[in-house]
Amino acid sequence: MPTSAVVLGVDSSTQSTKTAVVDAHSGRILTVGRAPHAVRGEAGARESDPESWWDALRASVGAALAESKVAPSAVAGIAVAGQQHGLVVLDATGRPLRPAMLWNDTRSAPQAVALTDALGGPAAWLERTGSVPVASMTATKWQWLREHEPETADRAAAVRLPHDFLTERLSGAAATDPGDASGTCWYSTRTRAYDRDLLELIGLDAALLPAVAAGGAERVGSLTARAAEFLGLRPGIAVAAGTGDNMAAAVGLGLGGEGLLDHPVISLGTSGTVFASTRTRPATAGLAGFAAADGTYLPLGCTLNCTLAVDKVAGLFGLDREDAEPGGETVMLPYLDGERSPDLPHASGVLTGLRHATTPRQILGAAYEGAAFSLLRALDDLHAVAGLDPAGPAVRERPLRLIGGGAKGRTWVETIRRLSGRPLVLPEAGELVASGAAALAAGAAWGDDPVRVATAWGAGRGVELPARVRDEVAWRRLEGVLADASGLVRDVH
């Protein structure tokens, strides 16, 4: 690749769009442009206007190029990594028929239960898709739309995921990749294709869906003249298939067939995720059995309540998020928006173990512990899927890579260390999703493997922290409260 070329990596997330201008030779991020977009809804609804993503992409590209002083002629390729699972329904002109239902929209929880039963239970879904339907999955949202807004579903000329929508606006090509497609529950990770039986079950015509590229770095088209004018770029540059945000973060960390396999990552953001790239096809309840962007697999556990929930508790007491102490006897399960892992979509927050001596700082610390506990439970499941013993020394000694906004916080880091008993690596790269997308763009521009590109860029390097002795007392206390709370929630619903 030319030493003077740059690529654009786009991170279109729940709250904003970021565009990173990346030196294609070294992987150095020259600058990042940002633009917000709104999320609306209440009582379980979470929606955004897809047109706001397109406008934010233009604003972020413009800001990034202006700050970096990079000429548009130097840009060789672009790739979009987007928030997963969102349902975008378009008319025949490519315009949204309604706001997109986002990943954290929980209204389709009843549809998730009904679809699971309709196919014969969780095992049948795991065999086909590697995942069991939950409210976040796109298939459940489509079913909700059919039941609650049938006129809109009938008018749909195209159904897209958020990153598909933007990729099509860039290139004119209706394309997705296996990674993001694997989060729909209508794509089979076993056959690596759309599952016709599942599409029939949810009443979705395959003709409405984009073609599935071989990988996220496949060149699916070139930047159209119309998109180039809109964004202020040169027409004809490579447009990659792109992928979901978690898959792009894995690429940005160098996880995959040409990099690290079975090395776990914890991401601390609005939602919390645990994932690792593996060659073993995941198919177990409690995890999303995703495909990765490079042909491997990406088993992933996700919690809805992570940094946002902890910050909410801090705000209730007027505390800074770092003003926390270990919870002691106090236990909080901060399931303020329901929960996905464990699968408790109707749950609310649980607080127990209060004493006269309990302080607000301990309650805040308990919120941290509850959020971290949910993630680490999912991590144990992830290791088992990869054929590893979660309690074995070889696994316990393998460091956790900690990323996301929470990884910058002292209390988050120390809580994960204390409850995991494992060493940590805090990667130096600050924009892993955008950096991973940039590696996809480079792969599309020059035909290289994106994980190999990211690894050559130095993906995953960072500060290493030694392990601490695991707090077994706190862990057992949290396990007991979760068992009691899970039974209560299921009895009520």
C-alpha distances out from residue 183 to 19, 49, 326, 451, Å:
23, 21, 36, 21
Rounded to 5 degrees, what angle do the CA atoms 272, 278, 283 make? 75
Q: How far apart are CA 74 and CA 383, in angstroms?
A: 43
> What type of residue sits at position 236?
G
> What type of residue sits at position 140?
T
Catalytic entry in 11, 23, 195, 245: 245
Q: How far apart are CA 392 and CA 302, in angstroms?
A: 23
Count CB-CB contacts under 10 A for residue 458: 15
Q: How far apart are CA 216 and CA 223, in angstroms?
A: 16
Q: How far apart are CA 56 and CA 35, in angstroms?
A: 5
For residue 390, the surrounding DSSP H or E stretch is none
What are the residues facing 303 on neighbouring strands?
272
Q: Quote the longest CA-to-CA distance of the chain.
A: 67
Sign of the alpha-carbon dihedral angle for 41, 87, 438, 289: positive
C-alpha distances out from residue 120 to 124, 125, 147, 186, 199, Å:
6, 8, 21, 15, 16
In 3D space, the residue among 105, 107, 103, 101 whose CA is nearest the CA of residue 49 turns out to be 101
Say if strands 265-268 and 272-275 run parallel, antiparallel, or are unpaired: antiparallel
Residue 406 is given by DSSP the state: G
In 3D space, the residue among 402, 170, 161 whose CA is nearest the CA of residue 274 turns out to be 402
Assess contact for 178 and 187: CB atoms under 8 A: yes
Distance of CA 291 to the CA centre of its chain: 12
Concatenating the DSSP letter of every residue in 168-197 gives HHHHS--EE-HHHHTTSSSEETTTTEE-HH
337 is catalytic: no
Residue 2, helix vs strand vs coil: coil
Q: How far apart are CA 229 and CA 169, in angstroms?
A: 12
What are the residues facing 55 on neighbouring strands?
none
Residue 471, helix vs strand vs coil: coil
Assess contact for 240 and 77: CB atoms under 8 A: yes
Q: What are phi and psi of 398, to 5 degrees?
A: -80, 125
Q: What are phi and psi of 128, to 5 degrees?
A: -90, -50
Q: Report the catalytic residues.
A: 245
